[in-house]
Every structure is written in structure tokens, then in C-alpha cells.
Amino acid sequence: MRVAYQGEPGAYSEAAALAFDAGATPLACLSFEAVFQAVQDGTAARGILPMENTIGGSIHRNYDLLVEHELPIVGEVQLKVDHCLLALPGVRFEDVRRVHSHPQALAQCEKFLQGLTGVEIAAVYDTAGGAKLIREGNLRSDAAIASARAAQVFDLHILKRSIQDFDANITRFFVIARQAIPEGADKTSIVFALPSEPGSLFKALSVFALRGIDLTKLESRPIRGRAWEYMFYADLAAPRDDMQCGRALVNLAEFARWVRTLGTYKAAKEVSVPAPETAAP
């Protein structure tokens, strides 16, 4: 199975793709939009997208893309993230004057970066992309925050390991496909918009509370093109075809401006770590 991901080989999304399916063939894409396109046109059977990190929070662009495209969520992966500071062989820690990484990774290592003196922080499109930049440019005063696997791929030296602010650094990924796969589902993701009137959110949440359905996530996002109007993303701890869940969504649709199911799928029960073949020794 070919699984599209955003980034370079050695990116955490590549590790998540292999955690989802150890026999998968990862397909690197330059952007999150390209991941959706690869699935849409059949270049890849699945796409994998980082959605939320326990330190950095949500990747909002991917939530917006789920609404813009008609590709259902069919799976979930939780991946342990361990950030390393990488540089060219022979470069010392004190030689580093610039650090490259994805904005999410930079946010996850904020305390470490604040402790550096005279070092410029540079955001790039991908953690492994920062490592690639250093190798291809032979940048001897630069370092990248990326995975140990990226150090292998781009022949870099690990200056420091586990530089994230908190040990419990976990990223949650969604798996998308062209068609829904409801078998074995125990979780449902939805998005909805409400009229701007008193009590509308209270009523929306009550349709789940009164039926004993747990909301494991609730987040608002601006509706593009409509100033100060919002949509709400919610994860429900129930499959879409569960009778109580179905009734709750019908009830919600009675007063919401609109409701859409983004996917019903099997929730990740454990936190995955990069497979042995994708981890540095």
C-alpha cells in the first residue's frame, strides 16, 4: 500500500505511515495539499496527516483541508516524537549559529531554544527538510531539529537528543482514503456550524451528553470568508453507525446550520514509536 505523507524521508510523518502499516510504501509530498491530491487521484491509497501534538497543539491547516476535500478519515495513529539537534559531522554544539525546523517542532522545543545565545531560529517546511538543507548546502554553522532517522538519511551528527520541552511529546495523525472504511470503527470525527444565538453551543453539546457520548476533542475554527463566524470540530467516542451516535447527529442537524461527518474509524489505542528499521542505532 502506498501512503502519501508531507515531508522528506526521515520525517515523523514517514514514521507514522509505517506505524499505520509496516508494509507500506511511503510517498513523500512537498505539501499537505499534495497529500490530499495524491489520494484523490489514486497515486496513493492512503494519506497521513499530523493533526495535533501534545505540546504544540493543533495543526490548523490540516483541519481546514479536511473540510475543503471529500476524503474521509479511515484511521488514526499516535506517534512518540523525540527531537534531536542535528549538524554536519565535526560541527560542535557551540559552533551553531542558526537552527532550522518546522514551526511545530520549534514550538515543541521552545525552552531549549530560549536557552541558546546568539542563535537564529529559521522555520522550514519540514523537520527532515531542515536536515536536507544543511546537508545539501554544507552549512557548517547551522543545525536542524529533526528525528534520529533524519540523521541517518542525511548523514548528520546528533549533537543533542530529546530536546523537546516535555517527555510526553506525542503527535496524533489521521489517515485519509477515497472511501470510508467503517468496519471496526469506535470513533467519529465531525464538523458543524451553529447559528449565532444564545445557548446554541450548549444545545449542541447536550445532544451528546444526554446520550452518554464522550467528546474527546472540541475545537473552533474561523469560517473563511465569514467574519467572526466559526465552525466546531469534535471527536466522538462512538462509531457513526451506533444508534445513540446516529440519533445525536440527527438531533444536532435539527438546529445546526450544517453538520458533516469527517470519518468514522478505529481509534489509536497505543502510542507508536518509529519502527526499528526507521530509527537510528
Count CB-CB contacts under 10 A for residue 177. Answer: 18
Count CB-CB contacts under 10 A for residue 185. Answer: 21
Strands 187-193 and 258-265: antiparallel
- Of 83, 82, 28, 76, residue with least CA distance to 51: 76
- Of 98, 78, 86, 109, residue with least CA distance to 12: 78
Catalytic pick among 20, 32, 112, 173:
173
Residue type, position 87, single letter: A
117 counts as catalytic: no
Cell of 157: 551528527
Instruction: Classify 11 as helix, strand or coil.
Output: coil
Instruction: Specify whether the CB–CB gap between 55 and 23 falls below 8 A.
Output: no
Which residue shows C-alpha cell 474527546?
A: 216
173 counts as catalytic: yes
Catalytic pick among 171, 188, 264, 278:
171
Which residue shows C-alpha cell 438531533?
A: 251
Instruction: Specify whether the CB–CB gap between 43 and 36 falls below 8 A.
Output: no
**Region for residue 136 given its phi and psi (left: phi exceeds 0; alpha: psi -120 to 50; beta: otherwise):** alpha
Enzyme catalytic residues: 171, 173
